[in-house]
Amino acid sequence: MIALGHTAAARDRWVCPLPADVPAVARTRVLLVDDHPIVVPGVRRLLSRSPEFDVVGQASTGLQAMEAALSTNPDLILLGSQLPDIPPPRLCRRLHGLVPGARFVVVTAFIEGSLLRDCLASGVAGVLLDGADGLDLVGDLRRIRSGLMVIDGPSALAAAGTGEPCVEGTPLSRREHQLLRLIAEGLSTKGMADELRLSPNTVRSYCESLLRKLRATSRIQAVAHARASGLL
């Protein structure tokens, strides 16, 4: 599975650049947050085999996660989707205030569409399904840490695009179609501006119009809606 928009096989994964710059780090500090007795040890063992990652703490509740985040200052926080006290989207928002430099990744066996969309709206940088064929946890975390957004697994992509995937009365313009294809290829705002020889502000205006027409709240959802509507 590879970046969306390159081959037909890419439909099971979306890798998209995030706008924030990510500083280079020698080792990525990881905080594990999950109450499942098998998931956390398994992920810890897997990451311990890579010299790039250092698991600096773990927590089984949202409150423990906030305490651990303050004491360990992680670069990545891996969250289970079903914590006993605080829903992941709310926890992401709280953690962002405590450790604004961290990136959040939901690692789960399944996730409902509404919860996934709430997580995306709260700023998670990745959703990885641990039951997905070909899951490359270390590789995906490396991509996320480098500044990419990764949604892995066909069910996660489907959940991201649930809702009414239809275009409103006004059809997409030629320029909006161009932008849609570039978004699907994972280009950033600057990348699209360079490709189309437009200013970044102009690209942002076109993207806002595109999202309105696709009834989407994010570029991820816009691509999912466009695919469901046959526009890509």
The model's pLDDT over 166-190, given as tens digits with 9 standing for 90+, comes to 344 456 777 888 888 888 888 888 8
The structure tokens listed for 167 are 């275009």
Contact between 106 and 85 (Cβ < 8 Å): no
Cα 191 to chain center, whole Å? 19
Report how far residue 58's alpha carbon sits from residue 79's, in angstroms, rounded to the nearest whole number: 10
Give pLDDT, residue 154.
54
Q: What is the CATH number of domain 174-228?
A: 1.10.10.10
pTM value is: 0.61
Give pLDDT, residue 76.
95
Give pLDDT, residue 5.
33
User: pLDDT tens per residue, the chain (232 residues)?
Assistant: 223 333 334 445 555 555 544 444 468 999 999 988 777 888 888 898 889 999 999 999 999 999 999 999 999 999 988 888 998 889 998 998 999 889 999 888 766 767 777 777 777 888 887 654 446 788 889 888 887 777 765 555 555 554 443 344 456 777 888 888 888 888 888 888 898 888 888 888 888 888 888 878 888 878 877 776 667 6
The residue ranges of every structural domain in the chain are 8-160, 174-228
Q: List Cα–Cα distances, 100 to 22, 34, 52, 77, in angstroms.
A: 12, 20, 21, 11
Contact between 184 and 226 (Cβ < 8 Å): yes
pLDDT in tens, 63-96: 999 999 999 999 999 998 888 899 888 999 899 8
φ, ψ at 194 (rounded to 5°) = -65, -40
Give pLDDT, residue 16.
57
The structure tokens listed for 66 are 């906030």
Within 79-232, residue ranges assigned H as helices are 88-98, 113-121, 137-145, 154-160, 174-184, 189-196, 200-213, 219-228
Q: Which fold has domain 8-160?
A: Rossmann fold (3.40.50)
Give pLDDT, residue 187.
85
